[in-house]
Amino acid sequence: MSAPRIAITRAQPEADRTAEKLRSLGADPVVAPLLETKDRAFDADISGVQALLFTSANGVRATARKITDRALPTLAVGDATARAARDAGFQDVRSAGGDVAALSALANGSLNPKGGTLLYLSGADVAADLVGWLIAAGFTATRRIVYEARVVTALPAIYSQPFDIIAFHSARAARAFAAFGAPNAARMSAACISDAVAAAAGAKVKWGRVIVASAPQDEALWRAALNT
C-alpha cells in the first residue's frame, strides 16, 4: 500500500514540523499552506503581569521577539505550544494538554486571582473568549494581539490534483479551502483537529470522509487519519 498523500494547510513554520512528523509515521506530506502569519505591533510592557497564556506556537514566537522576560509562569494550551515556549527560553512552562477550556482550567487551578494580571497573547482571530472566562473566575485578565493569520491570496496550484487527506488545524483554513472552491473534496478525506474545525470543513463542502481527532492534539489527529 502506498503512503497516504496528505496536504498540510497550516501556516509556516508549523507546516514543516508537521511534515517531518508525518514522514516519520510513513505518510507522504505536502506542505501547501492556506494561511500565512504576520507579526503585529503590541504593548510589550508586562508590569503587574502574573502569568503569560498562549494558545499557539505562533503566539509564543511573536511574543518572544518583543518580550525578553522568560521567568514568568507560562501556560500553554497544549504540548506543541508548550514546546515552542520552552524552545523560546521560557523557564516555567505548563501545558494544559487540551483546548482553551483546559487552559482556563489550568489557570484556575494553578494561579491566584489576586496575584496579578493574566496576559493572553494571541492571534487576531480566536475560537473562544478565554479572557471572559478568566474574568468570570475572578482573575484580572487581558488580551494582546501579537500576530495575525491571513488567508493566502490564491489556492496553491498543487491542489489541482487530489490528495488522500487534507489536514485542517483551524476552522479558518477549512473555510478558506471552501472559499477557493474545494477542488476534488468528494474524492478526499478531511482530517480535522476538533469538532469545531470539522463543522467548518463540512459546512459547505461534501467530502469523501470527515475525520475528527479524539482530542485537539496532533497525535490524536494522526492516529485518526492514519488509523494507527
Lowest mean pLDDT among 4-8, 51-55, 122-126: 122-126
> Picking from 1-5, 30-34, 66-70, 157-161, which range would have the lowest pLDDT averaged per residue?
1-5
Q: What average pLDDT does the chain have?
A: 96
Mean pLDDT of 148-156: 95
Q: What is the pLDDT of residue 223?
A: 96
Domain positions in the chain? 5-34+154-226, 38-149
Residue partners of 84: CB distance under 8 A and separation at least 6: 54, 57, 60, 61, 76
b/e burial code for range 179-214 (CB count within 10 A of at least 16 → b): eeebeebeebbbbbbbebbbebbbeebebeebbbbe
pTM score, whole prediction: 0.85
- Common-topology check for domains 5-34+154-226 and 38-149: yes
Q: What is the per-residue pLDDT for 127?
A: 81
Residue 13 to residues 8, 26, 80, 116, 140: CA-CA distances in angstroms?
Answer: 11, 21, 12, 33, 32
pLDDT at 34 over 70: yes
C-alpha–C-alpha distance, residues 200 and 53, integer Å: 26
Say if residue 1's pLDDT is above 70: no
What is the Cα–Cα distance from 184 to 38, expressed in whole angstroms?
A: 30
**CATH number of the domain at 5-34+154-226, please?**
3.40.50.10090
CATH 3.40.50.10090 fits 38-149, yes or no: yes
Q: Grid coordinates 488509523 are at which residue?
A: 227
Q: What is the pLDDT of residue 216?
A: 87
pLDDT above 70 covers what percent of the chain? 99
Bridge partners, 38 (sequence order)? 148
**Confidence (pLDDT) at 228:** 61
pLDDT (tens digit per residue) in 43-95: 999 999 999 999 999 999 999 999 999 999 999 999 989 999 999 999 999 99
